[in-house]
Amino acid sequence: MLQEAVDIQQNAVSELVEQVRQKHEITFRAPTGSGKTRMMADFMNRVLMECPDVIFLVSTLSKGNLAEQNYNVFRHCADKNIYPQLNPYLISSESADEERLFIPEGFNVYVLPRDLYKDKSKLKDEGALKNFLSYMTDNHFANGCNKTLYLIKDECHQATRNLDDIAPSYFTKIINFSATPNLRRGQMPDVEISDEAAVDAKLIKSIQWGDEHDTVETAICKFEEIRQKYVELLGVNPCLIIQISNKEKAEHEWSVIENILNKPEHQHLKWMSIVDKKDKCATNDTAQKLKDLNRWKDYAKGNASTIDIIVFKMVISEGWDIPRACMLYQVRDTKSRQLDEQVIGRVRRNPRLSDFEILSPEAQKLAMTAWIWGVKPIERQSFKQRVLHDNNHESKPLRNQNPNFQTIVTPGSIFDLYARLQHCHNSIQNQCYTYAKTPQKWFEFCERLEK
């Protein structure tokens, strides 16, 4: 790995540790593909070196086996003595017998799939998690462990209402991690790796945007152009991922794509689709005798996988990392800029990050390019540069920031303004609801969306 990549990650973790010393809740923002999970492991290892009595609960999404992926990274880092302080445990439904779900003591990192702690679950309704947290935090005279609990919310832009309800009673610190933190919930990044900095450090790819009038077949032909170069220069089988609509348009969109793939000039390409109601996998790769979806998804991730094209609805937004994916074509319009950024992140990982420095200049350029046909995010500055708050996070009147900001006497229709706001980038929507503490401020903001 390039020293620039190592430095930017380590500096971010150092800043994160410093912020935790000063604040109860902090937010860390880093783009998808920049090594967020490894930085999380480094952070926990540093805290445990200073404070061995800390216990971490890492809450993460249940979908896409993300919790298991995080656990495997933590376990690998501990076993290889990279971060030796970590002693992780994965809380899973398999830990339950017919009567209760058991969480053992003796570990210092507990990975919790978020959906295990929800209404009508054993972990919540039978009080298993609360009992465990109480036992961990009770003092020795109450026969407890007298530990300090930190809560890490991975993919914090997703709501965790049930955990939030009990957090004040048990957790000394809360650390939010996400590529797209939710400003509307107050997740203002305290520490951030910007997209530009991550690209400069070769952590993630730069984007080459396709023309908005290009068809799916244009993307497939472009994929054919670079496919062999990818294999020859990088030793990686590349992948094009295509996102289609989630509901009524999906069947038609998939049929159009399937007809293109069945053309004689494209029949050699191997594809898999996850587009039916039960998210089952269909494929033309008959050489693979895989029976269930999870095994197909694991196979599709590997650099040696023969799957050239993956067609999906929503399953690839978080929790399914495919470093060999280098192209994205979005057929659907998600209406969610946050979701768009998550999906775009799937094709921005550096497929040769660990040994990037040994590649030829031509190979490095290829490895650092992502081709995307979709909704362009706004020009990304750091979140700190874009929000409408001062350092104390107190709202400033917009007119104080812009000398040309004049009062609008007759406001527009609330329905028109709302429609315009919904078509803005998700970060603009977040800024609106962070700034607008009153209806008047909401009108003030929405009347000036262009500004």
Question: Each residue of 40-51: pLDDT tens digit?
Answer: 999 999 999 999
Q: Which range marks the domain in which residue 212 is found?
A: 205-373
Q: Indicate whether 215 and 178 sit together in one domain.
A: no
**Type of residue at 24:** H
The answer to whether residue 381 sits within a structural domain is no
Q: Indicate whether 145 and 126 sit together in one domain.
A: yes
Q: What is the pTM of this model?
A: 0.78
Instruction: Provide the pLDDT confidence category of residue 181 given band limits of 50, 70 and 90.
Output: confident
**Type of residue at 229:** K
- Concatenating the DSSP letter of every residue in 350-386 gives -TTGGGGGGS-HHHHHHHTEEEEESPPPPP---HHHH
Instruction: Provide the pLDDT confidence category of residue 431 given band limits of 50, 70 and 90.
Output: confident
What is the model's pLDDT at position 9?
Answer: 96
Q: Indicate whether 399 and 293 sit together in one domain.
A: no
Q: Indicate whether 264 and 180 sit together in one domain.
A: no
Looking at 161-255, which runs of residues are DSSP E strands? 171-178, 191-192, 206-209, 239-243
Q: Taking residues 133-153, report their average pLDDT.
A: 83
**Type of residue at 117:** Y
What is the model's pLDDT at position 382?
Answer: 47
Q: CB–CB of 348/198 below 8 Å?
A: no
140 pLDDT above the threshold of 70 = no
Continuous segment of H or E residues that includes residue 301: helix 293-301
Q: How many domains does the chain have?
A: 3
The answer to whether residue 213 sits within a structural domain is yes
Q: Indicate whether 192 and 209 sit together in one domain.
A: no
390 pLDDT above the threshold of 90 = no
Of 344, 373, 402, the one marking the end of a domain is 373
Which residue in 154, 174, 158 sits closest to 67, CA to CA? Answer: 154
Q: Indicate whether 396 and 432 sit together in one domain.
A: yes
The answer to whether residue 82 sits within a structural domain is yes
Buried b (16+ CB within 10 A) or exposed e, 271-302: bbbbbeeeeebebbbeeeebeeeeebbebbee
Q: CB–CB of 30/192 below 8 Å?
A: yes
Instruction: Provide the pLDDT confidence category of residue 126 given band limits of 50, 70 and 90.
Output: confident
Q: Indicate whether 408 and 302 sit together in one domain.
A: no
Question: Which domain CATH number covers 179?
Answer: 3.40.50.300
Of 197, 216, 250, the one marking the end of a domain is 197
The answer to whether residue 112 sits within a structural domain is yes
Q: Indicate whether 269 and 399 sit together in one domain.
A: no
Q: CB–CB of 342/28 below 8 Å?
A: no
The answer to whether residue 104 sits within a structural domain is yes
Please state which of the ranges 7-21, 185-199, 223-237 shows the lowest mean pLDDT: 185-199
- Please report which residue ranges of 179-292 form alpha helices under DSSP H: 195-200, 216-229, 250-261
Q: Indicate whether 338 and 422 sit together in one domain.
A: no
Hey, is 333 helix, strand or coil?
Answer: coil
* Cross-strand pairs, 60: 113
The answer to whether residue 379 sits within a structural domain is no
Distance, CA of 391 to CA of 265 (rounded, Å): 58
Q: Indicate whether 40 and 71 sit together in one domain.
A: yes
The answer to whether residue 284 sits within a structural domain is yes
The answer to whether residue 181 sits within a structural domain is yes
What is the model's pLDDT at position 388?
Answer: 42
Q: Indicate whether 116 and 33 sit together in one domain.
A: yes
Q: Indicate whether 348 and 272 sit together in one domain.
A: yes
Which burial class, exposed, middle or buried, applies to 384 when counting CB atoms under 10 A from its CB (0-12, 13-18, 19+)?
A: middle
Q: Cα–chain-centroid distance for residue 123?
A: 25
Percent of the chain with pLDDT over 70: 83
Of 373, 405, 424, the one marking the end of a domain is 373
Distance, CA of 378 to CA of 352 (rounded, Å): 28
389 pLDDT above the threshold of 70 = no
